[in-house]
Structure 1
Amino acid sequence: MKTPIILTLLCAFLAFNSLTAQISNQESHKDLVQNGTNLDNHKILNAAVKATELDALLDNAGPFTIFAPSDAAFERFSSEKISELLNSKDKSALKSLLTYHIVAGQLTASRILSAMCRGNGKASFTTVQGKKLSAHLDGYDIVLTDPMGNTARITTADLNSKIGVVHEIDSVILPTQM
């Protein structure tokens, strides 16, 4: 398989530069929930993290990489489905969904690109739930693909957080059919 020219150029760039090219973020000492509140486009994610009490777990462990769906991404679900997930007494489905968006360690965009360089254009990451996410480039965008074939683009990369790195994505990725 031929390596796309853009990936070749990115690999060459990464080979000659240190992997410290992260976007500076004034929110670097706040946790995911606080970042979500301040970014104003992660209200649903914020509510879900609080509902499952993952905020306490994330705050006491890590570092983690969070692929954070925006509110617009969650709104692709029906409002009934969102309400059902958030208000159910059994939070296992919601927790499963959220932990599928979390990878142990700090995967900055440059580290994801480096892994793709080593993987001939593709990389695979294991979520804390234990399932795989794959990454590839589409033009200049890093695209994640879940086992169901759903994709999500990283729209804002390398938001620093006390718990690790947060990448905003444009779709909710699914561990199973929901």
Structure 2
Amino acid sequence: MTTGGDGKLRIGTAEREAAAAALNAHLEAGRLGVEEYADRSAVAANAVTADELSALFTDLPEPHPQLPGSPGSAPVVRPGQAAAPQRRFGGSWGTRIAAASPIVALILFFVLNSAGVPMAWLAFLLIPLVGALGFSKERQDERDERDERRALRDERRDELDR
């Protein structure tokens, strides 16, 4: 590897981007304020050696970027990795209830139809009703989170532009 005149290892774009991604993760976790994030991001963007980047993370827990000359035990943080939400199918009760609503509507239809109820087909209207009621709260929460992330991103950009 190339070393500087004083023995410090030089870094490249990949290490600076990994440091920026790790700083984003700490900002999202609330460990850094917007101003401190802006200051550290500016240092990371202009860093030339691994020591300059590692100094940014001395008071922060993992994640740290993988830097030349550092032990291999630290996880590698790649750009965009911290921002990716971890979602899994059926993770909320609203999703589970909406998935079960067609089955419940079908059972209700057969029960009402066998009882001689003339408009048993109305049971199928439960499906869109459950979807509308069950997901409106979740969708609003997702919109609120998205708006909050946008506002935070805009604040960071304004801070970096100054």
Which TM-score applies when normalising by structure 2?
A: 0.24
Which structure shows the bigger proportion of residues in strand conformation?
1
Which protein has the larger Cα radius of gyration, Structure 1 or Structure 2?
2
Which structure shows the bigger proportion of residues in helix conformation?
2
